[in-house]
Amino acid sequence: MSKFRALACALAALPLSALILGSTVTSAAAKDPEVIIKVTNVRALDRADEMSDGDFFARVTINGEKIESPVVKQEGNIKPDWILAKKVKAGVVKVDFQIIDKDLADDDPVDVNRVDNKRNLEFTVNTRNCRIDGFSSRFKCGQKITRAGKEKKAAEVTFIVMVKK
């Protein structure tokens, strides 16, 4: 019996479910996770603009790709439920999170970081175990994270990080 014929007989002897199961596992392993940032609340701690409330939007950079939310105009306390998401390769993902005040000339970053001279939040998300690092406290996916700045044009922001596998 030739080697080819022996291999064909061996494959024919396998149950169909074993062959299908193998292909299902392969395709499931190939699916890339999605990192999702849901912004639930932005509250101005002082005036974002000299004469009016801020026109806020979120800008999130996930692994180098910028994603922006819509702008909410003239509100000092908003509950936007913005969803900013990106598919990534499994592993540790870098995130840069900003709240911006939209202006006619230059947009102004709003301070949401209590560290001096740093207005944005930088953290990492491990898509395998859902651990979020880069804060003084440890967080897991699904937990509310609230941070507030302390410099001029400051705000408090609450958001949730999720990973969809």
Please state, in angstroms and rounded to a whole number, the distance separating the CA atoms of residues 155 and 44. Answer: 4
Which CATH number is 82's domain given?
Answer: 2.60.40.150
pTM: 0.80
> Where is pLDDT greater, at 156 or 26?
156
Please state, in angstroms and rounded to a whole number, the distance separating the CA atoms of residues 50 and 34. Answer: 39
85 and 18: one domain?
A: no
Please state, in angstroms and rounded to a whole number, the distance separating the CA atoms of residues 110 and 101. Answer: 6
Among 28-37, 43-52, 67-76, the minimum mean pLDDT is found in 43-52
Give how many domains the chain has, as a whole number.
2
16 and 77: one domain?
A: no
| Domain limits for position 128 | 34-164
Q: Is the pLDDT of residue 124 over 80?
A: yes
